[in-house]
Amino acid sequence: MGMWSIGVGALGAAAVALLLANTDIFLSKPQKATLEYLEDIELKTLGKEPRTFKAKELWEEKGAVIMAVRRPGCFLCREEAADLSSLKPKLDELGVPLYAVVKEHIRTEVKDFQPYFKGEIFLDEKKKFYGPQRRKMMFMGFVRLGVWSNFFRARNGGFSGNLEGEGFILGGVFVVGSGKQGILLEHREKEFGDKVNPVSVLEAARKIKPQTLAPEGK
């Protein structure tokens, strides 16, 4: 009876742990970014002669859609990148650029990501786009049913990837208006493969009001 009780108790504890891991109780709550916070982020181009600039250059005139990529080699991130890229023709009609930021530049990871993402990609070495409060999902993610559902969805969609690079710091997607219009959409990944809704991205992009240049001489 003693061993039987221990076994039942262990199974019960495992069941409770699994149940709790599939709630949002232990998920860190994201802290909303302010426009001022995003504007001051330093980004770097990935060309032969890297240039460092303030992130506000990306949206100052026309606004922007920006993906903070958790890991370029992740097949779930590649799936989301492809979803956002499917909006590119409509974003072009609106005059809204599509960008991505990565937190590290490892070997050919960014180059291998580019077939999935149809916008320019920049390096965020200080991982500011993943803040203000940087959140991680560790191995708990692999017992969440939602994550496994996302895995199967992406695999069935034909996406594949690798294990290169840091992949625990969660990413997100921003739609930022021009000038001081502000952040029109902020999607924070709550678990691996928690994609932004492309319809919401497009709705937010349609609210962007491009900056008009003042006539010369005035």
Residue 126 lies in a domain: yes
Residue 87 lies in a domain: yes
For residues 178 and 207, the answer to whether their CB atoms sit within 8 Å is no
For residue 77, the cross-strand partners are none
Residue 5 lies in a domain: no
Residue 18 lies in a domain: no
Domain ranges, residue 136: 28-207
State the catalytic residue, choosing from 38, 64, 76, 77: 77
For residues 85 and 118, the answer to whether their CB atoms sit within 8 Å is yes
Residue 169 lies in a domain: yes
| Count of domains for the chain | 1
Identify whether 74 is a catalytic site residue: yes
What distance lies between CA 182 and its chain's CA centroid?
18
State the catalytic residue, choosing from 74, 76, 110, 205: 74
Residue 213 lies in a domain: no
Interacting residues of 60 by C-beta distance below 8 A, sequence separation 6+:
178, 179, 211
**Token pair in block for residue 18:** 């699994």
Per-10-residue mean pLDDT, the chain, length 218? 48 42 60 95 94 97 98 97 98 98 96 97 97 82 83 96 95 97 96 95 96 56
Q: Is the pTM of this model over 0.75?
A: yes
For residues 103 and 127, the answer to whether their CB atoms sit within 8 Å is yes
**What secondary structure does DSSP assign to 127-138, as a single string?**
-GGGTTTT-B--
**Token pair in block for residue 41:** 């982020």
For residue 114, the domain's CATH number is 3.40.30.10
Residue 202 lies in a domain: yes
Identify whether 199 is a catalytic site residue: no
